Structure 1
Amino acid sequence: MTMTEGRVADAVRGSWVDTLAPASWRPYLRLARADRPIGSWLLLLPCWWSAAFAAIAAGQALPNLWHMALFAIGAVAMRGAGCTYNDLVDRDIDAMVERTRSRPLPSGQVTGRQAKLFLMAQVVVGALVLLALAKPFAWALGIASIAIIAIYPFMKRITSWPQSVLGLAFSWGALMGWAAAFDRLDAAPILLYAGSILWVIGYDTIYAHQDREDDAIVGVRSTALLFGERTPLFLSLFYSGAVFLFAVALWTLGGSVLAYCGLAAFALHLAWQVARIDIADPALCLRLFKSNRDAGLIFLAGLMAEAALRAAG
């Protein structure tokens, strides 16, 4: 692969961006990671969990489908905006890392000015989604997340725990679904948010093991470097904490066996990740990281079944 082909080393080969998108759009779509939707899924799932929590609390058979659609649009837009912003901040570091040096900014496919304009366009979409939720408290809550997003790219330079800040940002939707429904927060979404933070720290530690050697060379930090060979132990702790907090959140809602069955299946999936991980195998780490979409959907299925049961009863 050469730079003139415009492809990115860690991108999926033969994705719709390569085969269907107009050539002039491809650098921007790659900048937003549109060819790698896993990040959008992982940002979206806490939103959908929270919307399902709200449906259970309200005795509705289904979450608010309008909110679910808005969260899907917002997750794609804000994940793309976050990736664009992160690449603007990290372009010099990305140029030194084998996996990232062919990304649109360090490779020169997109200029800094073009990336900033693209970032603004994505933020506008996110803002329109937030306005469409039509709840003042939800508006304020959504705006508050900007501070966390703004500081995240710098954390790897000053702490070995940048994954915890990512957890704060990627779990924010666990608050938003409930706030969009009730225009307030209660114990259930706060517990869901706390558990989701631990889940994110776990799966992003797995992801960070792909870059462990390069990160050490360029001088950036991560929980992958911090934990090293102890990663399975720490994954067990974070994932166990997430499952416990989710269980307490369900208890506050008066959850039935269906919700807890979904949570148990989610927990088994996380246990499988811990048993399977080999930090010396980057390809395996990527597969395990991506599998968290399936884990999240399993938990969502249990919540949806709980909502249907509650409404029927």
Structure 2
Amino acid sequence: MELPLIVGVDGSEPSMRAVDWAVDEAALRGVPLRLVYASLWERYEGAALARDLGWPSEQVPADRVVEAAAKRAHRREVDVKISTEVLPEEPVFALLRAGREASALVMGSRGRSGMAELLLGSVSLAVAARADCPVIVVRGSLDNSAKSAMRGRVVVGVGDEPESSAAVRFAVQEASERRVPLEAVRAWRCPAHETTGHSLLPGEPARLHEERAAETLDAALRDAPEGVELHRRTAEGSARKVLLDASADADLLVVGAQRRDGQFGLQLGRVAHSVLHYAACPVAVVPQRA
């Protein structure tokens, strides 16, 4: 049985753009699309939601929310099987549970005041930081629709930790389904103490760090299947800045997140947290158990 792609909807424009993106993704994957509305969402973001919809905060009809989302999805892609579900639960709990039987969860990026499209909403952040399946947060669209992928590139950030392997596998699959190149990026930095008073020739420490970064990329992509066009790129600088720069002309940015049993709270890491807030394209957070 094919696991569905699940979208968390709340009636806001960011969540509707997530529906647009998700129905295109479901068509690519050949999987059903399931639209989930947790009816206690307003406990988190009720005032903003009601304002978006033009309704009193205590009157957000759940059926109208999922019906509008389903109609929008059908108009965009008639061949995708679409189902809806209203859950009388808080959204984080409902979506985390739904994610246990999903190929991925898709969320919208909710803005705040004058910084709309910049900061991430509390529900999206909490789900991305705790879900058992990949979570895709749809960012980067400043109008009222999510455009089809046109840049022709998937980017994956490759780090030191084991979660890189899960992220790379997911990114390879996404690039293969889209029939676009995959760019694997590895950031590197040369510590300041290695650049002064070093016995090697000037520039030698930096060269060694760059070579190690290239070796890490080769190892991460060693098992990539044939048929996917692969590009490796090392870049000097912080991983956060390198990946944010790469997101400017990518269709999807993929990063890993390690989940540790027994550890509570958000399990994202600084790089994933940053790109979720500021990336210029949709971001996929791929979990891997330690």
TM-score normalised by length of structure 2: 0.30
TM-score normalised by length of structure 1: 0.28
**RCO greater where, 1 or 2, for CA within 8 Å and sep 6 or more?**
1
Q: Which has the higher strand share?
A: 2
